[in-house]
Structure 1
Amino acid sequence: MSTTTNASGEVSLWGLFELVLEGPSEGNPFLDVDLAATFRQTDRQIRVTGFYDGDGTYRVRFMPEAEGQWTYETASNVKELDGTTGSVSIGAAKPGDHGPVRADGLHFRYADGTRYINIGTTAYVWNLQGDELEEQTLATLTEAPFTKIRMCVFPKHYRYNQNEPERYPFALLKKGASKWPAKIEDSDWEFDFDRPDPAYFRHLEKRFGELAAIGVEADLIVLHPYDRWGFSRMSPEQDDRYLRYLVARLAAFPNVWWSMANEYDFMASKSLDDWNRMIDVVADTDPHGHLLSIHNGFAPFDYSHKRITHVSIQRPYTERSILWREEFGKPVSVDECCYEGDIAENWGNISGQELVHRFWMGTVNGGYVTHGETYYNEDETLWWAKGGRLTGESVQRIAYLKRILEEAPDEGLDPVPNSSFHRILKKGIDNVTLPELLGPAPGEEDWTPARLQHPTAGQPHRYYLSYFGLNQPREVQVAVPPGERYAAMLIDTWGMTKTMVGEGVERGDVLNIPAKPYQALLLRRISD
């Protein structure tokens, strides 16, 4: 038996400690061998599931969440893996390492308290395209504003996704034979869903590490319906074993999020009871409590589920983020609001300007929005599927929005409730009375935001960001609390410019601005 730590030989806070053990390889160790380790520090203890990595090698991975000395002891149904003990000293986090992202009220925050701004993108199977294209994708992400990528474990069968991957997540077995071929050679084969292929998952781990190095979270889609190989139709027992294996391998990576499915309700073989069971399997197996959610096709999931950490929803109307926040009391990530592109499907042919508009509507309504790009090319290398290069117009504008958010209050932007926009959204235009829409006149003592016509987010008495969207007012009446003075900055969200339009405005002041769409007004409080 032997033990190793990570490749550098150093173990830091939120780093990866790995215990490596040698054990049996005969039979099917994936089914026959149970392995776990308990890590202890004073009165804290964390139980971590181990996994078989092929060729008689077993691994236990641990992501330490506190500095200092930890001890460990293994437990197994195999004698040579049972009772291994040791200790590991955990040092301070490396520069730039903030730990896993957690839900923090209605926003997100790294484990060390640093604010996390969730600006995602989608490239479902970029990690299954071969080294050349995968490395190009990583290079693109290095220059892009995205802090998260939605990606799949399993290969995907769909339009523009017809190529076979270089490797498969489970072993292949010739029917009636005992030899495991490296590739599918003809129709006389089948997958053995009881034998994961460690090489497949090692490659996934490699890409995880590279994403972490450039500050990108991996929102990992563990199941999806777009499948010609049978991965979406495994039995409940096989599903659960796969999930436990996946979590045992990946939970020690700080940048993993669990997305139980892409469009869960398109998977006819899975019931709601199945999804609830599998959510529990993942949450119970993950000792580090990573973010966990599930993505819908038609019907949104019940995100009040106690083990779901945030809303991950598919809807084009990102302005409803304010309502989902109120309904579920969790951070909202609109992870599919249609994609910038030109393919035939309507979900993949909105303009860059429309996608940027949806980003802003989601932002000022308290949510977070995910990007995707589906411009056709002869190689059928569409970013949303395979990664590669980005060619659309939205990315630099999303980067501009990100810079604005980085300069915003550290608490994040919360939508101003009871604005006229919010009242219409919540009640419907036919159910809102005129006094509700207008609110009190400027100058009245009891301030209410009802007079705000446009969606607005910020932090009370400090910072307000209003977005005019498709409207093009030539004048705007300032609606801030009485007696407070603000600097007013006009933002052109498409042109990416800021213009000072008032250096000390108060409630009721009127600002004259150019009449054009896609503008925003930033009000930052100044000394009284």
Structure 2
Amino acid sequence: MFDRASTFGETLDSPAGRAVLEKHLPGIAASPMAQQFRSARLGQLVALVPELEEPAARDALWAALAEVGDGTARAPYPPAIAPDPAYEADEVAPASATFAPAPKARQWDPLEVRLVGPSHGNPFVDVELDALFTRPDGSVVRVGGFYDGDGVYVVRALADAEGTWRFRTRSTARSLDGIAGTADVAPAPVDAHGPVRVDGFHFRHADGTRHRPLGTTAYAWTHQSEARQQQTLATLAASPFTKLRMCVFPKSYLYNANEPIDFPFVGSLETGFDLTRFDPAHFRRLEQRIRDLAELGIQADLILFHAYDRWGFSDLGPAVDERYLRYVVRRLAGYANVWWSMANEYDLMWSKDLDDWERLAAIVGEEDPFGHLNSIHNCRPFYDYDRPWITHVSIQRVDVYRTAENTDQWRERWGKPVVIDECAYEGDIDQGWGNITGEEMTRRFWEGAVRGGYVGHGETYYPPALDAPGDADDDEVLWWSKGGVLHGTSPARIAFLERLLAEAPDGVWDPLPGDWDVPWGGTGDVRVAYFGFNRPRFRNVLLGDGRWRVEVIDTWNMTVEEVTGTHTGQVRVDLPGRQYMAVRLTRVAA
């Protein structure tokens, strides 16, 4: 039978399956989807098809598909595996594992308890380990531990307070249970500000420093060669970006045909994966990349699940999903610059429903006692961003043209910061989501900013058109997925916008009452009007109380020109008759 788990390609290759698809979705076999989504699951694909928005239409399709196919039943999902209570014999002395003191931590560093203990059997599933940490102020936090291979166990906390910490381990393995000790945490270095927290409709670090998430996207950059990863880091170092969206699992999609060198689980596509064993070397490399981003002042927005998959990771089943999630969060919650994204385009994850996402989000909350930001990203329908575990709105375009223009409405709807992580990508590929101009990308950033939100960047220039050499085995290196080098014109303009935002009294803009044709943002004493597509030769501006400085901003040419004098009441502001202009008003006297 064919069902939600069947791939689009295998269904099309069956005459009976193809006939069902053509009956319910006329023309789909000859559409671009027939090639683009051959490896996609039917349950993922139908979420993209407007004809199947109604439940009755979907039910009719599934019923028809169930009547065709080879009749082979699908294997059940792997079961949950409980820790082995007899993993170590009674004669093993409690707390007898070797405690390896970790390097002295500073505030906002990971604070680690490292133990050398047993390695027989399968410690990834046989052993449960955690520790109770007592902070200098007496508060207690439970932190889950993980197996790091070769008999090494780690409990990794986030050192969110300076002073002396105490800890005591708890474990189903006798030698790991009851180990106690202390660790001193030094003051934070001047450039370490702690994890990012929500501040109304905006963000601050834990120490109060303002954070503006100017994000970009390189989904699979950590799954590329070491040389490509280093190239990506060098590019980021010269960019304005302060947040990077990236996947834990590898990605299979257009321009993503290369095979990673390793995976979160031990194994390969050819030999299969052992879903009871993680690959510690893979995760150590991921941790190094997170540390590299921290050195650059960049937040790692980690996508925990996604649907673009040829290895089976998008359909692991509830027990393996939970095992994976606990392992990942326990390993990475000790890093201050981590954000969680439950999924990229959650609605394409055909094997998970809303109850699954709520269950998985609760696991993240349980295993992350340090409260990193968490959200979930949509393809078409919005998630319920009112859910209490969601700290901010992570959203993508809802229309080919209009998205950032909705920012202030979404702020009002959900009462949380709005981050448009995917507004489309600057580039020139054959997909509508990947061929907007640098001017349009910059415009969308400005439209979001004056409405009090944040817009994310991505780039999809096709390398041959750029005459840009690729790897010997990969000539399709697009920044949006594999990283590498930025070629577009928007990053410099985004840096210019960031400079202007930083000049605001509190480092942010909020939406202000606007004109019918022009949005205004800023604060009471600094107000910005953005004209976008429009190109007036002048604008009559009402100033309000006090005296004001008036500046004309060319957002594309990155210039700020002050209008002579200070002004009261109303002022005519002459403009050059070009698109992408803005006006900034600053009150200089009450």
Q: Tell me, yes or no, whether TM beats 0.5.
A: yes
Matches within 5 A, 1:380-399: 380-399=476-495
Question: Which residue pairs with 1:234 in the alignment?
Answer: 316
Residue 458 (structure 1) aligned with residue 554 (structure 2): no
Structural mapping, 1:117-266, within 5 Å: 117-172=212-267, 187=270, 189-266=271-348
Structure 1 residue ranges without an equivalent (≥5): 173-182, 422-452
Q: CA deviation at 1:328?
A: 0.8
Q: List per-residue Cα deviations over 1:72-98 (Å, max 9, x = no partner).
A: 111111111111111112121012000
Cα distance in 1 for partners of 2:362, 2:275 equals 21
* Alpha-carbon offset, residue 164 of structure 1: 0.3
Is 1:355 paired with 2:444? no
Q: Which position in structure 2 is the counterpart of 1:287? A: 369
Deviation per CA, 1:461-487, whole angstroms, max 9, x where unpaired? x11011011111222122332x32110
User: Does the CA contact (< 8 Å) of 1:23 and 1:58 recur in 2?
Assistant: yes
Post-superposition, which runs of at least 4 consecutive aligned residues in structure 1 deviate over 4 A? Answer: none
CA 1:2/1:484 → structure 2, altered by over 3 Å: closer, same or farther?
farther
Are 1:99 and 2:162 an aligned pair? no
SS of the residue corresponding to residue 305 of structure 2 reads coil
| Inter-partner Cα distance in structure 2 for 1:105 and 1:192 | 44
Query: Paired residues, what number?
Result: 479
Aligned counterparts of 2:98 and 2:490: Cα–Cα separation in 1: 51
Amino acid at match of 2:239: A
TM alignment of 1:7-86, pairs within 5 A: 9-41=103-135, 42-86=137-181
**1:335-414 pair list within 5 angstroms:** 335-378=421-464, 379-410=475-506, 412-414=508-510
1:433 is aligned to: none
Matched-pair contact (CA < 8 Å) for 1:4–1:18: no
Of 341, 366, 379, which residue of structure 2 is paired with 1:297? 379
CA distance in structure 1 between the partners assigned to 2:114 and 2:130 by the alignment: 12
- Show the counterpart of 1:332: 418
**1:468 maps to what in 2?**
531
Alignment of 1:440-459 (within 5 A): 453-459=517-523
2:134 alignment partner, SS class: strand
Deviation for aligned residue 1:272? 0.7
SS of match in other structure, 2:219? coil
- 2:522 maps to amino acid: G
Query: Mind listing any 5+ residue stretches in structure 2 that lack a counterpart?
Result: 1-96, 465-474
Q: Which amino acid aligns with 2:559?
A: T
Say whether the 8 Å CA contact 1:98–1:112 is kept in structure 2.
Answer: yes
- Normalised by the size of structure 1, how large is the TM-score? 0.89
Looking at structure 2, the residues matched to 479 and 70 of structure 1 have their Cα atoms a distance apart, in angstroms, of: 58
Pairwise CA RMSD of aligned residues? 1.3
Structure 2 SS opposite 1:371: coil
SS at match of 1:113: coil
Name the CA distance, whole Å, in 1 between partners of 2:446 and 2:569: 24
Question: Contact conserved, 1:469 with 1:518, CA < 8 A, in 2?
Answer: yes
1:225-263 per-residue CA deviation (whole Å, 9 max, x = no partner) reads: 000000000111110111110000000000000001110
User: Shift of residue 117 of structure 1?
Assistant: 1.1
Q: Distance in 1 between matches of 2:160 and 2:569?
A: 47
1:425-445 CA distance string (max 9 Å, x none)? xxxxxxxxxxxxxxxxxxxxx
2:571 maps to 1:516: no
Whether the 8 Å contact between 2:159 and 2:185 is mirrored in structure 1 is yes
TM-score (norm 2): 0.80
Give the distance between the partners of 2:572 and 2:100, measured in 1 at CA. 67
Return the alpha-carbon distance in structure 2 between the equivalents of residues 456 and 518 of structure 1.
14
Deviates most, 190-199 or 44-53: 190-199
Residue in structure 2 matched with residue 492 of structure 1 by the alignment: 554
Tell me the CA shift for residue 297 of structure 1: 0.3
